[in-house]
Amino acid sequence: MTTHYDRETLIDYLHGELDPGSDAAVLSHLERCAACTALHDEEAAVGEALRAAARAGELEFPSMVKARVWDAVRREQPSWLERLRGWGPRLALPVAAAIALGAYLGAPVWRNTVPPAGIEAAFLLDEHNAEVQQNPFGPGASPAVYTSDPQGRASSAASYIDTADAATLDDASGAFN
């Protein structure tokens, strides 16, 4: 006894919605079964007819509407950026050079507007450690290192060394991570 596929299954087959196993089974069956092939072709023809009808039903814009749209597009003026874009690579190199030159020449002006840096953290650590080292219950004296005080004043700051090294180490550990 030959089992035939129903219409719903064949529609799903046409739309590629069967699972791979069922899809293969239907394909194999259609190659051997004229009745199912006829039903399949019928469904395929209906689907094609519906698509043809849908295409035929698409409405064309009235010609006046299309004309007004195109007229509006033509009246729209391109921006200067769009015009420049039209020049493309022909302008890219000179513009980049001009920007670089401007940045180079303008840097002193910008520097004048940026607030100067505050007191160095190393100096504050130095001042703190100098106090710590005065404490008889503290870790004891350390040598002078900090020298960037414009008044030439220097004090005890082994921490300055530690800080510089620690910064390097932290960077290294960050890279490692």
Partner 1 sequence: MRSTRVAAAAALALLASGAAAAVHAASPPPAVVAPRLRSANVPPPPPAADGRPLLVAAAAAPKHVSFVGQLSSIRSGQTRADAVVSKVEHRAPDETRRTYLTPHVLYGQFVITRGAMSWDVDPANKRVVVTENKAAVDPVAVVDDIALVDGNYRAVKTATDTVADRKTDVVDLVSRYTGERALRLWIDSQTHVVLAKEAYHSDGSLAWRTRYDEIRYTDGIPETIFTSSVPAGFATVKGRSYAQPIARPNALPAPGFTPITPRYLPEGFTVVGSAVTQVKGVQNLHLIYSDGIRNLSLFENATNRAIDFTGMNAHTTRFENHDAQYVHDGPTTLLAWREHGLAFALVGDLDLKELVQIATSVIP
Are 11 and 43 a contacting pair, CB within 8 Å?
A: yes
User: Is residue 166 near partner 1 by the rule CB under 8 A?
Assistant: yes
> Which listed residue (93, 94, 143, 175) binds partner 1 by CB under 8 A?
143
Q: How far is the CB of 103 from partner 1 (least distance, A)?
A: 22
Among the listed residues 149, 157, 153, 150, the one whose alpha carbon sits nearest the alpha carbon of residue 127: 157
User: Is residue 125 near partner 1 by the rule CB under 8 A?
Assistant: yes
Are 122 and 166 a contacting pair, CB within 8 Å?
A: no
Q: How far is the CB of 153 from partner 1 (least distance, A)?
A: 6
Q: How far is the CB of 126 from partner 1 (least distance, A)?
A: 10
User: Is residue 9 near partner 1 by the rule CB under 8 A?
Assistant: no
Are 13 and 36 a contacting pair, CB within 8 Å?
A: no
Are 4 and 40 a contacting pair, CB within 8 Å?
A: no
User: For binding to partner 1 (CB under 8 A), which residues are involved?
Assistant: 115-125, 127-132, 134-144, 147, 149-156, 158-159, 161-167, 169-171, 173
